Structure 1
Amino acid sequence: MAAFAETPDPPYYAVIFTRLASTDAAGYAEAADRMVELAARQPGFLGVESTSDDVGVGITVSYWETEDAIAAWKSDVEHTATRDTGRARWYDGYELRVARVERAYNWRR
């Protein structure tokens, strides 16, 4: 996965998922990879960026063309099952925020 998602000119949407990991990480990395693979097949998906630290805080930002595309992803059966497993095993908590991107800038060496 590239360091930065290649998004179009705004407007588009960002789903910001910030998680606090539990001590049970078994299977999490594989499930996260699968969710990126599955999301990439969804109509309206634009890209994803993700990072985590060594104390269990992770942030994943996925980008979408429309709110309808986000809603379709939220209701995907496999995504729903993985989200339920996350609540039961992998997370001590999370925050999810949806934002409309109005402006975007970049700089690269």
Structure 2
Amino acid sequence: MPIAALPEPPYYMVSFSSQRTKVDDGYGEMGYAMTELAKLQPGYLGFESVRGADGFGILISYWKDEDSIRAWKSVVDHIEAQNRGRSDWYSRYEIRVGVVERAYGFNLEEA
């Protein structure tokens, strides 16, 4: 998973930390579908995701503003994915929303 290429701040981020169950029925397909659907949403800027062998994962999505986040939360297919997550795929999750005010990094290839 590459690091997301993002605009200069400010922008918003939604952190989704989760612990998977052992149920895998349709999880990968739904994850791919939600990623592709999110890319089509107004205000979407990108995402980064990682999941460990123990089932703990973090997905961070980046958005132009809070209205974009609210709109994404209410997309019907996304609501269906949320429901499946609660019933089948996650034993626990936490969502945190924040404003990115400053961002910087390092890239050896550009150094």
Shift of 1:22: 0.6
Q: Give the equivalent residue in structure 2 for 1:51.
A: 50
SS of the counterpart of 1:9? coil
- Aligned twin of 1:63: 62
Instruction: Report the equivalent of 1:11.
Output: 10
TM-score with structure 1 setting the length: 0.97
| Unmatched segments (≥5 aa) in structure 2 | none
- Deviation for aligned residue 1:30: 1.0
Separation of aligned partners in 1, 2:105 and 2:49: 17
Between the aligned partners of 1:17 and 1:25, the Cα distance in structure 2 is: 18
Q: SS of the residue aligned with 1:79? A: helix
SS of residue matched to 1:50? strand
- Identity %, equivalent residues: 46
Cα deviation for residue 74 of structure 1 reads 0.2
- Runs ≥4 in structure 1, deviation > 6 angstroms? none
Counterpart code for 1:42: Q
Matched, 1:38 2:61: no
State the distance in 1 between where 2:88 and 2:77 align. Answer: 16
1:106 offset after TM fit, Å? 1.3
Give the number of aligned pairs.
108
Unaligned runs of 5+ residues in structure 1 are: none
Normalised by the size of structure 2, how large is the TM-score?
Answer: 0.95
Distance 2:93 2:16 in 1: 7
User: Which SS does the other structure have where 1:96 is aligned?
Assistant: strand
Task: Note the aligned Cα RMSD (angstroms).
Answer: 0.7
- SS of residue paired to 1:31: helix
The one-letter amino acid paired with 1:37 is E
- Indicate the SS of the match to 2:23: coil
Q: In 2, distance between residues paired with 1:5 and 1:32?
A: 17
CA distance in 1, matches of 2:19, 2:107: 30
Partner SS state of residue 63, structure 1: strand
